[in-house]
Structure 1
Amino acid sequence: MNQLTFDNYQKHADFSELCDHRIAHWQSLNFHQDPNKDVILFIHGFPSAAWDWHFQWKHLAGQYRLLSLDLLGFGLSDKPTEHQYSLLEQADIVQALLSKLGVKQYHILAHDYGDSVAQELLSRQEAIDNAAKIQSICFLNGGLFASHHRPLFTQKLLKSRFGGLASHFMNKASLSRGFNKIFAANSQPNTHEIDTLWQLLEHNNGKRVLPKLLSYLDERKQHGKRWVESMISTLVPLYFINGVHDPISGQHMLDYYIDIIPHPRTTALDVGHYPQLEAPEKVLSLYQTFLTEIKG
């Protein structure tokens, strides 16, 4: 499988000032040429970047108009040190980008931290009349329900009063060990993936902001009830693709989703926390089928 290098990822990035921050984003080549094609917005997880979606992007670019971004504090986007990071601000940034590009309706494909941003966007749509309408959401592994999210010890350490010290001593080897734990045994990350994810994390001295980004764990508890109520009541088609061997949000998260979401549409995969990297072809196929079926 051809994989996107850090240099090419950086080379094709556009940058916009959104909510007072310089945000990296990407559009497919047909984005402004085919206004009748549906838009798919990719929202990445912690601690990576929109790079995670490179396989799905390559294969969906002909059928759809594609849009992705590195959220504030991630990848190539600004990483202000003295900043109170918030999932709500990330949703503001997404909405500002959609508005800038004139997007009126869109599908969301989200993972991990991005799931929470998608939940906030859905909740806003259910409460007020936004300009851009969500047509569907496909969630990959993430803390959809705060009560069932199981953060790693490393995440707890980074979030603690020792977070600054822990992030200072973090290196590519420790990142690799962490990813090995959350990928399934039969779909471990390769050297290229670890190298690229480390470059994206370290870019613009990004290690410094990791402890501050982890405030999202508290925000999930704070806003979780509102988000889940929106998921239960919405008419927007929802789909959950879950890597069941994920210690953070695997089978236990999927079971709870099935318990509380009306008429749940789900698929269990024999992988870990990063289905889009561990089983890229399968995620692509499942997502294409979902989009085809909801269009009728």
Structure 2
Amino acid sequence: MLKRDLKAYIKNAQFSELCGHRIAHWQSLDFHKHPNKPTILFIHGFPSAAWDWYYQWQHLAKQYRLISLDLLGFGLSAKPTNYPYSLLEQADIITSLLSQLGVENYHILAHDYGDSVAQELLSRHETSGHSAKILSLCFLNGGVFASHHRPLLTQKLLKSRIGRVASYFMNKASLSRGFSKIFGVKSQPQDDEINILWQLIEHNNGKRVLPNLLSYIDERSEHDQRWTLSMVSTSVPLYFINGVQDPISGQHMLDHYIEIVPNPKTTALDVGHYPQLEAPQDVLDLYQRFLSEVIV
């Protein structure tokens, strides 16, 4: 179970060797005891972890089989140094986890970096008849279109040649300042949220891998056309919940999504980049309503 308390989060983590890496993951139900429960996969963003979903998890666990993981380089999972992190490998890891857990079909709720991983999974689903069927996909704020993603100066510095130096000087105070800029004016991050997210970043000296993880910005541009085609042509129900105050992927990203995706289903929230933390009940209510429409 994902809980607000970090100790419980760590205690409840399971670990599996997936694609050669030790990956932390969580599951809400024993699938074999509850075979008819629909499955939801949560995919988190940068630079956080599966912990982001703790509020929605507590409520959705009553109805669904929930699965989440700390992606490679994040949270409690392995953080190899000098490693060529890739969104495509993250999709491989998720595919392996779903296979290990016996998942045949599932819904996706994704955010930020996780949106790109979800887009890769959707593209594979559309082109190769992937064994696990995606039943629906809900995006929260993220760079679903590379051309409209506006990274922060901090991200640009971490991604640059001085990234290692910049990461060395990163601390909890700088994380708090950065999050204050991307959260909504009236939905600023709480101190305990910053504390937990910082501990998860620092776990296993995770600051050192942040520059390498940011290669995802270039990958988005590389695969943007293929991912966009999948979103435009898919029969999988899509939904975009967007915090419009987000300077990275807010109103401008939502506007482009509405312009590009046929018959777009969207909701604008008056918050920033982390709707699941800034407006947790709204996200829960909206997502449950979406699920009620797509689950027959």
Normalised by the shorter chain, which TM-score bucket? over 0.9
**1:241-291 Cα shifts (integer Å, max 9, x gaps):** 000000000000000000010000000000000000000000000000000
How many Å separate the matches in 2 of 1:252 and 1:3? 33
CA RMSD of aligned residues (A): 1.0
Query: Where do 1:123-202 residues align within 5 Å?
Result: 123-202=123-202
Counterpart mapping for 1:10-89 below 5 A: 10-89=10-89
State the Cα deviation string for residues 197-241 of structure 1 (Å, max 9, x = none): 000000000000000000000000000000000000000000000
Using the TM superposition, give the Cα deviation of residue 5 of structure 1 relative to its aligned residue in structure 2, in angstroms.
Answer: 1.4
* Superposed displacement of residue 3, structure 1: 6.0
1:6 deviates by 1.2
Indicate if the aligned counterparts of 1:56 and 1:284 stay in contact, CA closer than 8 A.
yes
- Rounded to whole Å, the distance in 1 between the matches of 2:31 and 2:242 is 29
Q: Show the counterpart of 2:93.
A: 93
TM-score by length of 2: 0.98
Normalised by the length of structure 1, the TM-score is 0.98
1:122 paired with 2:110, answer no
Q: Which amino acid aligns with 1:295?
A: I
Aligned position for 2:293: 293
Structure 1 position 14, deviation (Å): 0.1
1:87-125 residue CA offsets vs partner (Å, 9 max, x unmatched): 000000000000000000000000000000000000001
Question: In the alignment, is the contact (CA less than 8 A) between 1:106 and 1:132 conserved in 2?
Answer: yes
Q: What's 2:205 paired with?
A: 205
AA of the residue aligned to 1:223: H
**Aligned equivalents of 1:35 and 1:148: distance in 2?**
41
Q: Determine if contact 2:115/2:143 at 8 Å carries over to the other structure.
A: yes
Q: Residue 166 of structure 1: CA displacement? A: 0.3
Q: State the 4+ residue runs in structure 1 displaced beyond 4 angstroms.
A: none
Listed as ranges, the gaps of 5+ residues in structure 1 are: none
Other-structure match for 2:238: 238
Alignment of 1:248-263 (within 5 A): 248-263=248-263
Aligned-pair CA distance for 1:130:
1.2
Task: Give the secondary structure class of the aligned counterpart of 2:134.
Answer: strand
- Give unmatched runs, 5+ long, in structure 2: none
Please list the CA deviations of residues 137-185 of structure 1 after superposition, one character each: whole Å capped at 9, or x if unmatched. 0000000000000000000000000000000010000000000000001
Q: Distance in 2 between matches of 1:11 and 1:33?
A: 22
> Contact 1:31/1:66 (CA < 8 Å) preserved in 2?
no
The answer on whether the counterparts of 2:183 and 2:245 sit within 8 Å (CA) in structure 1 is yes
1:29 Cα offset (Å): 3.1
Counterpart Cα distance in 2 of 1:28 and 1:295: 19
Other structure's SS at 2:164 match: helix
Query: Could you tell me which amino acid in structure 2 is paired with residue 177 of structure 1?
Result: R
Question: CA contact under 8 A between 2:74 and 2:206: conserved in structure 1?
Answer: yes
How many pairs does the alignment contain? 295
C-alpha separation in 1, matches of 2:60 and 2:28: 9
